[in-house]
């Protein structure tokens, strides 16, 4: 069970997430008011509320198919399935997600779907370089994303950002058409409106990135609570930071430290900050509090998961028209 420190941090991250989404909605409402007065304000608020309740849900199977993922049968890797089942049981999810294997050397793990229909996928490359304790930390992180409904929260934020972008473009077009008459009557208010319309998408994008970083911290703390072991996840993040620091491909689980990308423009927090928080959160856990099984070897599924993919593990990611690496 989570200790007081972890519970307090998770609560703080949730409050931060709520404030960020509220801030994004306020930006949309402000643009709506500028473009349409009280009616535009009301429509903008109504659209944000509809987005919160009717946010589009991408089918987990569609995403997994794009990555050519295969469900891992228990006969292929019983240790890995047992470990995952124990984490799911501790998370008290209403429906148990399925675990998938991606035959790729890319270092990647992700969760998709909602609490009622979800899945976790992990690549061959990740299972090759992590030891069982580190694999447990990574899987717990992804299970925590499902437990905290992060995919839904980030989906709402993405929808609000898209609404902001659409209203901004429409407003800029209206502004362009109104320039001749506005210039004859003084253009100070027009200038303020132009600044708002141009800057609003950028402001919401920055808040969306901050929201993503907050949810990553939340999932890290949730993973420590599920495993009772801060060292496993911290070690995995450190190892993956070293493994990806010299490569050219992004990895969505650990934030990659670069000299050219400011922290505020990253979807993931810097790895050293994540490790610091993980270790601080896990200090009150004792070694014997971990409920993870003592695995004898890295639980990488056997190659024969599907006949057409046998012995065809890809060495790296490929580009897809949707911008996905798999």
Enzyme catalytic residues: 142
Q: Are strands 98-102 and 70-71 parallel, antiparallel or unpaired?
A: antiparallel
CB count within 10 Å of CB 314 equals 17
Edge-first strand order for the sheet with 98-102 is 70-71, 98-102, 117-123, 109-114
Give the alpha-carbon dihedral of 252, 124, 126, 1, to 10 degrees: 90
| Neighbour-count burial for 283-304, b at 16+ CB within 10 Å, e otherwise | eebeeeebebeebeebbbbeee
Closest of 267, 273, 288 to residue 237, by C-alpha:
273
CA distances from 55 to 11, 47, 49, 156, 286 (A): 24, 11, 9, 6, 41
CB count within 10 Å of CB 94 equals 7
């Amino acid at each position: 069970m989570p200790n007081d420190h972890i519970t307090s941090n998770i609560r703080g991250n949730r409050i931060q997430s709520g404030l960020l989404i509220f801030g994004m909605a306020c930006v949309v409402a402000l643009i709506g008011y500028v473009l349409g007065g009280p009616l535009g304000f009301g429509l903008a608020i109504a659209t944000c509320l509809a987005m919160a309740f009717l946010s589009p849900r991408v089918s987990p199977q569609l995403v997994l198919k794009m990555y050519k993922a295969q469900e891992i049968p228990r006969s292929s890797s019983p240790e890995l399935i047992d470990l995952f089942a124990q984490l799911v049981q501790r998370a008290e999810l209403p429906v148990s997600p399925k675990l998938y294997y991606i035959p790729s050397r890319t270092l990647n793990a992700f969760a998709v779907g909602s609490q009622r229909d979800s899945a976790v996928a992990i690549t061959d490359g990740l299972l090759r370089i992590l030891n069982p304790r580190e694999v447990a930390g990574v899987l717990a992180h992804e299970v925590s994303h499902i437990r905290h409904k992060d995919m839904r929260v980030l989906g709402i934020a993405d929808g609000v950002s898209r609404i902001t972008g659409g209203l901004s473009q429409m407003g800029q077009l209206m502004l362009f058409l109104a320039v001749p008459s506005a210039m004859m009557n003084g253009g100070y208010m027009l200038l303020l409106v132009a600044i708002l319309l141009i800057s609003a998408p950028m402001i919401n994008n920055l808040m969306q990135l901050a929201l993503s970083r907050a949810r990553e911290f939340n999932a890290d703390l949730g993973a420590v609570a599920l495993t009772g072991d801060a060292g496993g996840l911290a070690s995995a993040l450190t190892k993956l930071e070293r493994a990806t620091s010299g490569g050219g491909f992004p990895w969505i689980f650990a934030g990659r430290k670069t000299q050219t990308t400011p922290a505020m423009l990253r979807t993931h927090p810097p790895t050293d900050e994540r490790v610091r928080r993980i270790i601080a959160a896990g200090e009150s856990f004792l070694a014997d509090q971990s409920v993870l099984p003592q695995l004898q070897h890295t639980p990488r599924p056997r190659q024969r998961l599907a006949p057409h993919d046998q012995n065809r593990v890809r060495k790296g990611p490929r580009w897809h028209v949707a911008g996905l690496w798999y």
